[in-house]
Amino acid sequence: TKGGLGGVPIAISIVGLPGIGKTTLASQLIRQLHTEKTPFTSAAWQSLQSATGKAPPCDRTIDSLLFTLSNGDITAAVNPQNDCGKKTENLLKILREKPCLLVFDRADTLLKTGEAKAAGYFAEDCAEYAWLFKQLLETEHQSKIIFTSRESLAELPPTVTREIQLNGLDRDAAISLLQSFNLTANPEELAEMGDRYSGHPKALQLVAALIRDDTEFQGNVGIFLHQRDWLLIRDIERLIDEMIARLGDGEQTCLSRISVYQTSEYPLSFAGISAQMPEVSKYELKENIILALKRRQLLYYDYQRESYQLHPLVREKGEHLLNQNPENLRTADTQAYNYYINIPLKPKSEWQDIEDIKPLIRAHYHARQAGNLDAANAIISEVCEYLRQWNCAELVCGNIELPLLKEVKKNSLSGAGKMPTPQEN
């Protein structure tokens, strides 16, 4: 039935990063429908990716659909040549006569690239596809449609379309996938591997194959985890590069700068992103750049943590981009420091534990990363006594070579009395 607001949708779009499992999910659904009693009498799968990376001509796609759904009765030879309108009418006639399932795989090949405000919209040379989808979704019939795409399809009518975002496998599924490679690992190592890659199935497959086949690892997950403190082996990075290549300059700048934030330590708010992009208005940042990164599946908002998040693979790629220019990296860390140091805190008399001064801890981290040791020292001199009381000095002293911080660590561990001031060092 024709879907409406709150009703049964005509179409779903399955979106997510490259390798996240969109095509696999759609193909599994098709196979499941073939083995179950379903209302669909015909199904057609149409890939919109060609050897050139662009979609095939629209009339060729419609020819393929007509041939499949008519069981070979309607061929390109009997179709009106180069008349998408007439071909679309014939396609809609079939969809009205019998319940069909259509799958359009890799619909992102139809979308614009290189400009934030255009993210999710059909490219000018794909106007015929935009018109075809409009007819399929706004004309009443008894069929259903599945789109898979690396980006949200912004022009699909929301009243008859639902979007499903794939974020990766859960821990148990990730462990099962890794176990299928017969690797040497204990349950904790498999869980760590799955968590590192946030359950990204293609990344896990590529890494598991590397561990299994490379004589350096001999199938041992523990060796791999010990040797690698990075995620992006080359084959995985290639997938992320394909998405980065679609970004405009503002999107890429924003993505690289916010990669300095460690959202596992402190939630990333809009204010935190805005602090990294002082050159653009808040409207431009929110309604164009952030929206574009969301539509391209590179940034998402975790409502439970109240934080913007980057997938670990995307964050690491952003770090790589930022590290290409040390001055840009220092600037990003300085802007992060300025953001955290200006977050209002409770009065000192109400400080109870480390959570009450988390912004200062993050400010200290970014001051140190930016090479601003005076600012880092000033923060420690303000909070060191509290850190000693809470036995938390390790959080800021673990890997820094400042005399003051060494003294904080020593006094925290020994329970000794008054902390030294910067002048005493």
Q: Per the structure block, which two tokens stand in for 60?
A: 């060729």
**Confidence band for 420, pLDDT divided at 50, 70 and 90:** very low
- Please check the confidence at residue 163 and state whether its pLDDT lies above 90: yes
**Confidence band for 388, pLDDT divided at 50, 70 and 90:** confident
CA distances from 226 to 85, 193, 202, 221 (A): 60, 11, 21, 9
Tell me the mean pLDDT in the region 196-202: 97
pLDDT digits 0-9 by tens, 59-77: 999 999 999 999 888 776 6
Alpha-carbon span 271 to 340, nearest angstrom: 10
- Please check the confidence at residue 190 and state whether its pLDDT lies above 50: yes
Q: Per the structure block, which two tokens stand in for 338?
A: 């300025």
Tell me the mean pLDDT in the region 21-26: 94
Residues 134-163, buried b or exposed e (16+ Cβ, 10 A)?
ebbbeeebbbbbbbbbbbbbbebeeebbeb
pLDDT of residue 406: 45
pLDDT of residue 3: 41
pLDDT of residue 82: 65
Tell me the mean pLDDT in the region 407-419: 42
β-bridge pairing 300-302 and 307-309: antiparallel
Tell me the mean pLDDT in the region 383-409: 62
Tell me the mean pLDDT in the region 342-367: 95
Q: Using CA of residue 68, residue 69, residue 75, residue 79, what is the dihedral sign?
A: negative
pLDDT of residue 77: 65
Contact 384, 361 (CB under 8 A): no
- Please check the confidence at residue 421 and state whether its pLDDT lies above 60: no
The helix (run of H) or strand (run of E) holding residue 43 is: strand 42-47
In this prediction, what percent of the chain has a pLDDT beyond 90? 76
Alpha-carbon span 125 to 56, nearest angstrom: 11
Q: Using CA of residue 193, residue 198, residue 199, residue 200, what is the dihedral sign?
A: negative
**Confidence band for 54, pLDDT divided at 50, 70 and 90:** confident
| Full DSSP string of 109-162 | GGB--S-GGGTTSBPGGGHHHHHHHHHHHHS--S-EEEEEESS--TTS-TTTEE
pLDDT of residue 411: 42
- Please check the confidence at residue 418 and state whether its pLDDT lies above 50: no
Tell me the mean pLDDT in the region 56-60: 91
pLDDT of residue 81: 67
Domains of the chain as residue ranges with CATH: 11-165 (3.40.50.300), 171-229 (no CATH), 344-425 (no CATH)
Average pLDDT, the chain: 89
pLDDT of residue 8: 66
pLDDT of residue 401: 42
- Please check the confidence at residue 132 and state whether its pLDDT lies above 80: yes
Tell me the mean pLDDT in the region 359-381: 95
**Confidence band for 370, pLDDT divided at 50, 70 and 90:** very high
pLDDT of residue 39: 78
- Please check the confidence at residue 393 and state whether its pLDDT lies above 70: no
CA dihedral 401, 402, 403, 405 (to 10 degrees): -100
Long-range CB contacts (< 8 A, 24+ apart) of 242-246? Answer: 242/18, 243/17, 243/18, 243/150, 243/296, 243/297, 243/298, 243/314, 244/317, 244/321, 245/113, 246/113, 246/114, 246/151, 246/296
Alpha-carbon span 125 to 9, nearest angstrom: 28
Q: How far is CA 425 from the centre of its chain?
A: 46
pLDDT of residue 417: 38
- Collapse the DSSP code of 339 into the 3-class scheme (helix H, G, I; strand E, B; otherwise coil) and give the result: helix
- Please check the confidence at residue 424 and state whether its pLDDT lies above 80: no
82: left (phi over 0), alpha (psi -120 to 50) or beta: left
pLDDT of residue 53: 77
The helix (run of H) or strand (run of E) holding residue 295 is: helix 291-295
Q: Which of 4-13, 197-206, 294-303, 416-425 has the lowest mean pLDDT?
A: 416-425
- Please check the confidence at residue 412 and state whether its pLDDT lies above 70: no
**Confidence band for 80, pLDDT divided at 50, 70 and 90:** low
Q: Per the structure block, which two tokens stand in for 146?
A: 């599945």
pLDDT of residue 78: 66
pLDDT digits 0-9 by tens, 144-161: 999 999 999 999 999 999
